[in-house]
Amino acid sequence: MQRLRVICAVALGLGLMCAPVWGATTPNVTTPLGTVIAAERAHVGEANANVGTTVYGGDRLSTEMQGNVQVRAGAARLLLLSSSAAIVNDNEGAPSARLLLGTAAFSTGNAHAFTLFASKAAVRPQTDLATIGQVTYLNEKELLVTARRGGLAVTVEDETQVIPEGTSYRVLLDPAPEAAQGPAGAGSGDKGPFGKGGGEPLKAGRSRFLIVAVGLTAAVTAFGISEALESPDRP
C-alpha cells in the first residue's frame, strides 16, 4: 500500500510539472513579420504608420495620394508607392504581400526572401542575386511588372515566365484563346525594337498568361526606387 501511494504521488508531481510546458507550446500570439522603416501618409490597418511600427501577418498596409511606406521583413524590403494597398503575410516561412491596388516595389537578398502576389500571379526573384522588382496592379487580369535589378519569375499555377533585368512587361492573365496561340515573340527569332518580342506575346501556345514587352525601365524612376530600397539611411 505504501509503495502504491509513492507511485501515485510521483505521477501527480510529474503531471503538474508537465502541465505548464504543454500549455506553452501553443501560445495565442501572432509572430511579428516586419518593421516600418519609412512612412509618409501611410497606414497599418486603421492606424497611422510610423517608423518602428511592428507589422504582423494579415496586416493591411495602405498609402494616401503622395504617400509611401516601406517595411523591412527579414532579407527583404517592401515599398508601397502612392495610393496603394497590400496585405502582408507569411508564405511558407518567408514574408509575402498581396497587392490589392496601386504599385509595390520590393528588394531581396535571395530567391526565397519574398513573394509578391497580385491577382492570380506570384512574382519572385529569379535568382539569389540582389533583386529589385516592381508590380503595378492595373486590374484583375492585367499587371505591369518591371525588373529593375535582376530577373523576376512570374508564376500562375504551374506555369512560370521570366521578366529579364531592365525591362517592363504587361502580364495578361486569362488571355483569350486566339491571343494564346499568337506569334511566339522572343521564341520566333523576331526580337522587335526592345529585343524582347517587340510587343508580341513572349510565349505562345496554351498559356495561362502572356507577357508582352513594354520597353526598358525609365532611368529616373528606377533610380528613385533603388535609392529608397538601398539607402543606408533606411536600413
∠ CA 116-120-96 to the nearest 5 degrees? 20
pLDDT at 46: 95
- Give which of 87, 91, 168, 85 is closest to 134, Cα–Cα: 168
In this model, does residue 42 exceed pLDDT 60? yes
pLDDT higher at 213 or 69: 69
Average pLDDT over residues 62-69: 97
Q: Can you name the CATH fold of 32-230? A: Jelly Rolls (2.60.120)
Average pLDDT over residues 203-214: 73
In this model, does residue 193 exceed pLDDT 50? no
Q: Which pLDDT tens digit goes with each residue over 111-168?
A: 999 999 999 999 999 999 999 999 999 999 999 999 999 999 999 998 999 999 999 9
The single-letter DSSP state of residue 218 is: P
pLDDT at 147: 96
- Give which of 155, 121, 142, 106 is closest to 214, Cα–Cα: 142
- CA dist 5 and 200 (Å) reads 84
pLDDT at 219: 41
User: Rounded to two decimals, what is the model's pTM?
Assistant: 0.72
